[in-house]
Amino acid sequence: MKTKIKNSHAFTWIAIALLSISIYASSKAESTGEIKNIALKILENELIKVTIDDTSGNFSVLEKTTGQEWIPDPWENAAGLLTITDKKGKRQTLNLSKSKAINVQEKADGSISIEFSEPVFDNGDLAKGAKVGVKLSLNPSTAGLDIEITDVEAGSYQLVDLRYPARHFSLETDVDRGAAVIPQKQGIISPSYIFPMNGGRFCKWDDATYNNKSIGTLQLFNNGTGLTMPWWGTYNEKSAVMVILDESSRPDMFYNINNNGQYLFNPEGKMSTYQRRVFLDPVWNLAKENTSMKMSYRFLPAGDYVTMAKTYREEAKAKGFFVSLEDKAKANPNVNKLAGAIYVGIYGGYPHYVNMPGMQFTFEELKDIIRTTHDELGVENAFIHAWGVFSNFAPVCWPINEDLGGPTVLKEAVDLTKKYNYLYSSYHAYSPVLENDPAINIGLMERDEQGKLQHTGSRWARVDTDKLKSLASANLEKEVATLGLEADITDISFAVFPEKGSEGIRDLARYLRSLNLVMGTEHGQEQWIPYFDMFEGLVYLEDAPLSEISHPAPLFSLVYHDAIANFGKIQDPNNEVTANGDYRIKSLQSMLFGIGSAIFFSPYEFDGMKEMLKMSNALVSPVHRETFYAELLSHEYLSADFKLQRSTFSSGTEVIVNLGPVSQKTDTGVSIPGYGYQVTGADGKVKKGGFQMTLTME
């Protein structure tokens, strides 16, 4: 097998980048004490100096402003790690720096090419015919380092994946005080040091090294747990480095968070000899055809996670992903109704079941909930999302269920939302095929060239993407006309960005956008921002291992807050106590990140939600309303335990919250009680408060 990736263009070499030069250094061989020559090649500009070692193909980067040197792999001195299946079917991971031949060459355009030929198996055999070629060049626009994998050849072997560069730009645990920055969901940072760690979480942090919870891979643009933006990075007290992936590149991200590589020694029952490290690597899937394998490293003196997010914000604008909420509101003034809104989900069974006993509500009951929310609870802005209004299962979202009151009574409920300046949408989904649907239609599912059904392992994202638009257009415009809808929520279809089928998903997005409704979807990712006004669920981290050893950070909001309205997730709303916290923590964090509240319930639970709806309207909604069109300018962790945090918005709003139980002071001496807050509005007025636990006994 041979996979060839052609270079699409050559970067222009400009005057700020010095000519590559070859120098020779002497080093003493550890085993024999003999002196040998090591050839080094250098790429250099005013910001960085990249040194490439001819003997290993490895490179280091000196960031000149601060003197920060980013070293190559500290464990095995591996430029890259190639996973390959040998002729006996055994899978091995080979160190490219131990290849039979490593050829480093300067090119006329100022770049440097590195070719790794015939890496070595564990038994000393050569992977004959296997080859990996890469190109390093300085970017004249960013003064950063661009890397492209230009050539991958398998010889007579089967290639699995390639980690390149491997273990570069790492932090040594408890030596470098910094963090890994990972835009998973809204975002997280994973500190490179132990103390402080609250209570029993120290045990989780330490155990993670030995139970594989601190290593793993995250996909780019998948449903819920993957990266929502194509970048990541590390920083310490001096400097930061981030990688931004080429738009068509789709690697996974391997994370190693304060792990000492014990997993490499476990098969032999030995203790690791490596120190704990934090690093993030791209993992290129060589079992599939890659359109490109390109990445651009940016070096940010004195930078951190906020610097990275703001750097990517400019990239997002250049790529056309950023469309401001202000522009969306000019096109459709109903977008203004999202500002300060509470996202109220009312579950009646659909799409999983129709007329679900004990859960389903009538449209008269829906009217009562809407009326009570406004008149009794005083909720000023709301987005009502009703699940369970159709008499068919998804993906056939029609007709409106006559048993529940039919279209006439449902329209009366929708008219109430308009009267109160609320928004309304029924639940829509066009991608599931449900086995419990009496009228299940497997003819909607995708098939391969041999006619075999695809995506049979899940209820969701099973419909052939070419059929999505036709399923939506068959009924949605009838519903809009019947009910006079101003908004739409369409679920799941936009949670992934597959290489195959993406055009069908885009067709659906373009169709929905053409209806000029306030448009929302679950999860969401950056490529769908031009088509949507709100995302549901791009808030909390769902992947448990990383949540135990990381801290939530508003990376997505730092990039896109003023381009898309984010609300909590239906399956993890503010009113539910989950791994992401309780109502106190979620609401404080919503203010901090500029996110709207989500309250989700079945009708029989409504009375129990009333106090939360009132609190959200009084606490979160005013901040959300004031900052809705504003850029999230900054975010800071003000205390050693990461509990005391501060955000500032371009509206002039400042939010300080304490997510822990102990009162703490800011750097300016302001005391914030446990689970408390201080909000300084755009008008300079200060509001303070906090949550207290109370008990009533009879």
Question: What's the token pair of residue 523?
Answer: 């999860």
Is residue 194 very low, low, confident or very high in pLDDT (cuts 50, 70, 90)?
confident
Question: What's the token pair of residue 246?
Answer: 């080429």
Q: Are 612 and 620 in contact (CB under 8 A)?
A: no
Output the pLDDT for position 427.
95
Residue with tokens 């939360």: 612
Looking at the DSSP bridge assignments, the partners of residue 23 are 40
Output the pLDDT for position 200.
58
Q: Could you please report the per-residue DSSP string of 200-233? A: THHHHHHHTTTTTTTEEEE-BS-SSSSBSSSEEE
Residue ranges of alpha helices (H) inside 359-434 are 363-375, 406-419
653/685 Cα distance (integer angstroms): 10
Is residue 141 very low, low, confident or very high in pLDDT (cuts 50, 70, 90)?
very high
Predicted confidence (pLDDT) per residue in 441-471, tens digit: 999 998 988 999 988 888 888 899 999 999 9
Residue with tokens 């809705």: 628
Antiparallel, parallel or unpaired: β 277-285 and 294-301: unpaired
Output the pLDDT for position 122.
87
Residue ranges of alpha helices (H) inside 538-605 are 544-548, 555-560, 583-593
Say how many C-beta atoms besides its own lie within 10 A of residue 172's C-beta: 17
Question: What's the token pair of residue 534?
Answer: 């709100």
184/269 Cα distance (integer angstroms): 34
Asked if pLDDT for residue 138 goes beyond 60, the answer is yes
Q: Are 166 and 81 in contact (CB under 8 A)?
A: yes
Is residue 77 very low, low, confident or very high in pLDDT (cuts 50, 70, 90)?
very high
Output the pLDDT for position 499.
59
H/E element, 308: helix 305-319
Query: Which of 96-105, 279-288, 531-540 is predicted least confidently?
Result: 531-540
H/E element, 147: strand 145-154
Is residue 12 very low, low, confident or very high in pLDDT (cuts 50, 70, 90)?
very low
122/404 Cα distance (integer angstroms): 68
Local structure of 294: helix, strand or coil: strand
Tell me which DSSP letter residue 498 carries: -
Of 245-254, 356-365, 474-483, 496-505, highest mean pLDDT:
474-483
Question: What's the token pair of residue 229?
Answer: 């933006």
Asked if pLDDT for residue 585 goes beyond 90, the answer is yes
Quick one: which of 471, 485, 555, 487 has its CA closest to 521? 487
φ/ψ of 40, rounded to 5, equals -120, 140
Q: Are 216 and 254 in contact (CB under 8 A)?
A: yes
Half-sphere exposure of 404 (CA within 13 A, CB side): 30
Output the pLDDT for position 99.
97
**pLDDT average, residue stretch 302-329:** 97
Tell me which DSSP letter residue 578 carries: B
Residue 249 amino acid letter: S
Asked if pLDDT for residue 9 goes beyond 60, the answer is no
Q: Are 552 and 188 in contact (CB under 8 A)?
A: yes
Looking at the DSSP bridge assignments, the partners of residue 535 are 521, 566
**pLDDT average, residue stretch 390-416:** 97
Is residue 204 very low, low, confident or very high in pLDDT (cuts 50, 70, 90)?
confident
- Total residues belonging to the chain: 698
Asked if pLDDT for residue 355 goes beyond 50, the answer is yes
529/84 Cα distance (integer angstroms): 38
Is residue 14 very low, low, confident or very high in pLDDT (cuts 50, 70, 90)?
very low
User: Per 3-state DSSP, what percentage of the chain is helix, strand, and coil (rounded to 5)?
Assistant: 25, 30, 45
Output the pLDDT for position 459.
84
For 569, residues 6+ apart whose C-beta sits below 8 A from its C-beta are: 522, 536, 537, 539, 540, 598
Computed over every residue of the chain, the mean pLDDT equals 90
Residue 667 amino acid letter: D
Output the pLDDT for position 495.
58
First-to-final CA distance of the chain: 76
For 334, residues 6+ apart whose C-beta sits below 8 A from its C-beta are: 423, 486, 487, 517, 518
Residue ranges of alpha helices (H) inside 125-273 are 201-207
Output the pLDDT for position 88.
83
Q: Are 279 and 525 in contact (CB under 8 A)?
A: no
Looking at the DSSP bridge assignments, the partners of residue 536 are 522, 567
Asked if pLDDT for residue 197 goes beyond 80, the answer is no
Asked if pLDDT for residue 472 goes beyond 50, the answer is yes
Q: pTM for this one?
A: 0.92
**pLDDT average, residue stretch 48-56:** 97
Predicted confidence (pLDDT) per residue in 586-639, tens digit: 999 999 999 999 999 999 999 999 999 999 999 999 999 999 999 999 999 999
Quick one: which of 666, 665, 672, 630 has its CA closest to 648? 630
Is residue 19 very low, low, confident or very high in pLDDT (cuts 50, 70, 90)?
very low
92/82 Cα distance (integer angstroms): 8
136/143 Cα distance (integer angstroms): 13
Residue with tokens 């639940």: 427
Question: What's the token pair of residue 167?
Answer: 């273990």
Predicted confidence (pLDDT) per residue in 105-122, tens digit: 999 999 999 999 999 998
Output the pLDDT for position 644.
97
Local structure of 495: helix, strand or coil: coil
